[in-house]
Each structure stands twice: as structure tokens, then as C-alpha cells.
Amino acid sequence: MKRFLAGVAGGLLGAAVVFGAAFALGAFDGTIVEQTVVKGETVSYEAEGLTPQQIYDEHAEGVVEVVATLLAQYDMFGQSTGPRQGIGTGFVVSEDGYILTNSHVVSESGQLAVDVQVVFNQDGKGTTQVTGTIVGADDATDVALIKIDPSQAPELRVLPLGDSSKVAIGEQVVAIGNPLGLEFSLSSGIVSATDREIQSPDGSTIVNAIQTDTSINPGNSGGPLIDSAGPDGIFNNSDDP
């Protein structure tokens, strides 16, 4: 609201300046015009909670890149398409090495990936890649769980899940992920709507989805959507429309 008020105050002040200039130049042919001058005041906006930069600094190491390899498919002529590789995102939800992602990142038409590599970003110190195991994948809810050996990974940064019932329309949120293969990117926006219905990979209806204007592209799937409360507002992403 303070940001909106600052914009309105600036607009009124600008109109008053233009009106005064027109009168001084004789644009009204000497007609006496009563002026109302609106004085703008500086209004500062202080966002509540964490800034996007603070969120990234605090939580980016808990976000991972998921590289999944699926078996070859065959076309109508029996020709193999060769193994296929997809890139998505996940985030650490347990110190035991459990990672949450979307089902469509690690499976297709019920077929699980034959190999899953999990890539950790070490805050400017490079990346570490470890092999993950698919614990389970549910196409109806588009949720999957991966397990890695914590001893093979950097110190795990756990991102606790938030309470989606407390999400408010207009709330500031950010996404961290790997859109279009661009590793560990940050995008920001707001919650555009709540209680949306979207279609899962198997055609089921997923209810209570969060709509956002934050840029979510292929590769962001499975990554976190985080509000300014930080640890209290982390939700699973999908690039599905």
C-alpha cells in the first residue's frame, strides 16, 4: 500500500507543476484560475520479511538440479529414439537426504528414469554431483521423492515446507531453479491466485494450486516457491500451465 501511495503522490505533484506552467505562459488568456497545489511527500517502502537476495543467500544451497535419464522409446516404425535426458529442480526436505521434486521430472507415462543425478550448488565453490534413487513418484499429484547418500553430498541445507493455507494473494514470492538449463536462477513475483485447479501428468485434477506471475519455465519444475517469510513459506513448483 505504501508503494501505491507513493506513486499517487508523485502523479498529483506532476499535474500541479504542469498546470502552473500553463497559467504562467498565458495559456488561459488571462482568465483567473484558482489553483490547488498538491505537495508530494517522500514515502519510503519497507518490505516485510526477507528480500529476494536474502532468500537466495539463505536457501539456494538447499535447492538442487535434477538430471534424469529415461529409457529409449520407439516410433511407429520401430526406430529407437535413444535415451532421453531431462533437467528439473528439487529441494532438500530432510537431513537424511530426501529431496522433493515433481513426478514428471523423473518419470514419463509411468516409466521411471533409469538414472538420476542430483547437483548441489556450493555457494561459489562449484557444484557437487551425486547419484540419487527414486523412492517413489505419483503422477496423480505430480510429486516424487528422491534419496541421496548425505555422506556423498555437501552439508545439507533443509528447506522446511510451508503452510499453503496461509498464502495470501499479492504476497511476494520467489522461485529458485534451473529454467531452460540455466543453473540456480532466481525469479520473483507475487501470488496471483490460490485454490486453482491444474491437470497432473496422468490427467488427474490437482486442487489448491498456487498461481504466480513469477517466471516458471521448463527446468523449474520441482523447485521451491518461497515467500518473504523464508523457512515458513516454501512450496513445490511446477512449470505446468
Give residue for cell 536474502: 54
Task: Please report the sign of the dihedral spanned by the C-alpha atoms of residue 63, residue 65, residue 71, residue 75.
Answer: positive
Closest CA to 2 of 39, 50, 41, 43: 43
**Positions of E strands within 96-233:** 98-101, 107-108, 111-112, 115-121, 127-138, 143-147, 172-177, 185-199, 205-212, 224-227
Give residue for cell 538447499: 62
Rounded Cα–Cα distance for residues 106 and 134 (Å): 8
Residue numbers annotated as active site: 104, 142, 221
